[in-house]
């Protein structure tokens, strides 16, 4: 039997390296001929496991009208040449280019992995424009798979797509969580290592955040809330882990945080599990997310969470059991939630429940099996359609 030809398109190589590399290797070992197309990255080319093909294309984030035409044409030629059975696309620009190109190339299965809805955080004409783009991507796709039930429900209510062509795989998330990497049994050791590195005292309560430091992630609200908390309590610290993009951050808040001994910017790390281990509470006051993988990563390490009431993160936790939910964009409720989390017994109870919740719902290899079964089903449905046409 011939292998199923699967092409995965993302805007940047970061998505492949951070989320999909091992998953794609799993598919390669289970009957799929995988090709990756993303921006140019020679390091990724060298890292790709045997059996995964690589094509580069100059893609970048943000509006790029000329690039849209050029990249759509490049992808169209690649799709026509390779005659893929499935073209899968996810990140915003890649999804736009690949949906157009795969439709024009008559690829039978055009799979949109909807890992986030960009226009949710916009207003006015910008929101309307990006919603039109989102709806076009969905209309050109034969199957849409958001990575959370919340985003599935929202999208259907927004009439982005029908129930017939959309579903969530397993319990959601793009890749599940690797419980070998995020190993709770190593928490105490890793916590000591990170606390020593940043001179954090044993009795200090550490609030933590991981991700891009931008307005959309709710950093302004987090800094403002923590400014209040650390004035009232002298045994608290805020650990911020991630690249310093500083997009849309309130300058006075940012200046305060840079000068404060209670806020620690750790920068990017490829060992984020060690930083979770040092946290007592994980906070994600984001405006929009596809799922919020960082939430289940923190929970896997036994960390209770505080998330904003948006689709994605609220699907990655159980309100009142593994963490708390606060209104998006509001500071006072976030302050109150953070104060409640100063209770040691509450944190311990929620953290223990978080470990069980994640292991039962988002274990990575189980999630990969769900994805494998789905991709096989998509191809089987395609073969059935071909047979019916021939009859």
With a cut of 70, say whether residue 284 has pLDDT above it: yes
Question: What are the pLDDT digits (tens) for 139-156?
Answer: 999 999 999 999 999 999
Say how far residue 171 (Cα) sits from the centre of its chain. Answer: 14
Res 18: pLDDT: 81
Residue by residue, DSSP assigns 314-348 as GGSS-BTTTEEEE-TT-SHHHHHHHHHTT-HHHHH
What is the spatial distance between Cα 356 and Cα 363, in angstroms, rounded to a whole number?
11
**Which segments of 153-257 are extended strands (E)?**
205-210, 236-241
DSSP 2: P
Tell me how far apart the alpha carbons of residues 84 and 73 are, in angstroms, rounded to a whole number: 16
- pLDDT of the residue at 52: 95
pLDDT at 1 over 60: no
Residues above pLDDT 70, as percent of the chain: 95
The SS3 of residue 196 is: helix
Average pLDDT estimate for 48-55: 92
The torsion of the CA quartet 42, 273, 241, 349, rounded to 10 degrees, works out to: 150
Q: 122 or 257: whose pLDDT is higher?
A: 257
Q: Where do the CATH 3.40.50.2000 domains begin and end in the chain?
A: 4-176+364-390, 184-361
What kind of fold does domain 4-176+364-390 have according to CATH? Answer: Rossmann fold (3.40.50)
* pLDDT at residue 229 in the model: 97
Specify the pLDDT at position 222: 98
Give the pairing of strands 143-144 and 323-326.
unpaired
Choices 1.10.10.10, 3.40.50.9100, 3.40.50.2000, 3.30.360.10: CATH for 184-361: 3.40.50.2000
pLDDT at residue 128 above 80? yes
At residue 17, the pLDDT reads 86
Taking the CB of residue 216, how many other CB atoms lie within 10 A of it?
16
Q: Is the pLDDT of residue 380 over 90?
A: no
Mean pLDDT of 26-52: 92
Q: What is the mean pLDDT of residues 277-303?
A: 96
Does residue 163 register a pLDDT over 90? yes
Query: Quick one: pLDDT at residue 357?
Result: 98
Backbone conformation region of residue 320, classed left if phi is above 0, alpha if psi is from -120 to 50, else beta: left
CA distance 233 to 227: 10
pLDDT averaged over every residue in the chain:
93
Q: Which residues fall within 8 angstroms of residue 354, CB to CB, at 6 or more apart?
A: 298, 299, 300, 302, 303, 304, 305, 317, 322, 323
Using pLDDT thresholds of 50, 70 and 90, give the confidence band for residue 390.
low
Q: How confident is the model at residue 312 (pLDDT cuts 50, 70, 90)?
A: very high
Half-sphere exposure of 101 (CA within 13 A, CB side): 30
Give residue-wise pLDDT tens across range 319-344. 999 999 999 999 999 999 999 999 99
pLDDT at residue 119, as a whole number: 87
Q: Which residues contact 136 (CB under 8 A, 6 or more apart)?
A: 96, 99
Q: How many residues does the chain have?
A: 391
Is the model's pLDDT at 160 over the cut of 90?
yes
pLDDT (0 to 100) of residue 388: 56
Global pTM? 0.91
């Amino acid at each position: 039997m011939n292998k199923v030809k699967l092409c995965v398109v993302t805007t940047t190589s970061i998505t492949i390296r951070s989320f999909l590399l091992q998953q794609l290797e799993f598919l390669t070992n289970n009957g799929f001929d995988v090709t990756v197309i993303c921006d140019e990255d020679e390091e990724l080319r060298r890292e790709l496991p045997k059996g995964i093909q690589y094509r580069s294309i100059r893609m970048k984030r943000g509006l790029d009208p000329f690039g849209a035409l050029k990249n759509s044409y490049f992808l169209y030629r690649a799709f026509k040449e390779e005659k893929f059975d499935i073209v899968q696309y996810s990140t915003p620009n890649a999804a736009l280019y690949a949906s157009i190109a795969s439709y024009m190339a008559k690829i039978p299965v055009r799979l949109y992995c909807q890992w986030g809805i960009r226009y949710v955080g916009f207003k006015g004409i910008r929101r309307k424009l990006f919603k039109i783009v989102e709806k076009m991507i969905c209309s050109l796709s034969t199957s849409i798979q958001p990575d959370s039930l919340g985003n599935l429900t929202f999208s259907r209510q927004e009439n982005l797509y029908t129930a017939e062509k959309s579903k969530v795989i397993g319990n959601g998330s793009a890749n599940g969580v690797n419980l070998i990497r995020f190993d709770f049994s190593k928490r105490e050791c890793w916590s000591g290592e990170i606390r020593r590195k940043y001179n954090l005292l044993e009795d200090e309560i550490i609030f933590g955040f991981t991700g891009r430091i931008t307005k959309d992630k709710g950093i302004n609200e987090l800094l403002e809330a923590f400014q209040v908390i650390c004035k009232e309590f002298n045994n608290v610290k805020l650990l911020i882990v991630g690249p310093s993009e500083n997009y849309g951050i309130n300058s006075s808040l940012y200046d305060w945080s840079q000068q404060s001994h209670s806020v620690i910017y750790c920068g990017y790390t490829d060992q984020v599990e060690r930083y979770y281990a040092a946290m007592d509470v994980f906070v994600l006051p984001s405006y929009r997310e596809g799922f919020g993988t960082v939430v289940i990563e923190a929970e896997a390490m036994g960390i209770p969470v505080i998330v904003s009431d948006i689709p994605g993160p609220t699907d990655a936790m159980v309100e009142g059991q593994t963490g708390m939910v606060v209104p998006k964009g509001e500071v006072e409720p976030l302050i109150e939630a953070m104060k409640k989390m100063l209770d040691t017994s509450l944190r311990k109870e929620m953290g223990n429940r978080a470990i069980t919740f994640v292991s039962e719902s988002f274990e990575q290899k189980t999630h990969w099996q769900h994805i494998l079964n789905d991709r096989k089903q998509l191809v089987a449905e395609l073969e059935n359609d071909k047979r019916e046409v021939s009859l």
